[in-house]
Amino acid sequence: MVGWSDAGLDDLAFAARHPGAVDRVALVSTPIPDGDPAFDLSEMTAKALLLFGAKEPRTGSRHGTWWQRHLPNARLEMNPAGDHDLLTPMWTRVLSHLAPRCKR
């Protein structure tokens, strides 16, 4: 599953409710939740790729670091030139995380 911006929270909620169906997620520029999520982040089993842009004024490195601390199987990758719209330029990286054994 791919969650960009606020939709990343919905993707994580789905992955938490259906761990047998979702083994990998990619969160792109997803902000820290305003309150407590409706699920326990520490129980997430899906491998998470966290993509954030260093030039993103809303969800820069602070948000990426927060997600990395709260998701047990998370890998944070910061794009030094990236802003909020990272999904298109990082699409190949997203696909390599979601389907690592597929040939491109």
For 3-36, what is each residue's pLDDT tens digit?
A: 999 999 999 999 999 999 999 999 999 999 998 8
Name which of 72, 31, 38 is nearest 52 in CA terms: 31
Contact between 21 and 35 (Cβ < 8 Å): no
Burial 17-26 (b: 16+ CB within 10 A, else e): eeeeebebbb
State the pLDDT confidence band at 101, using cuts at 50, 70 and 90: confident
Domains annotated for the chain, with CATH where assigned, are: 2-95 (3.40.50.1820)
State the pLDDT confidence band at 65, using cuts at 50, 70 and 90: very high
What global pTM score does this model have? 0.91
Residue 25 or residue 54, greater confidence: 25
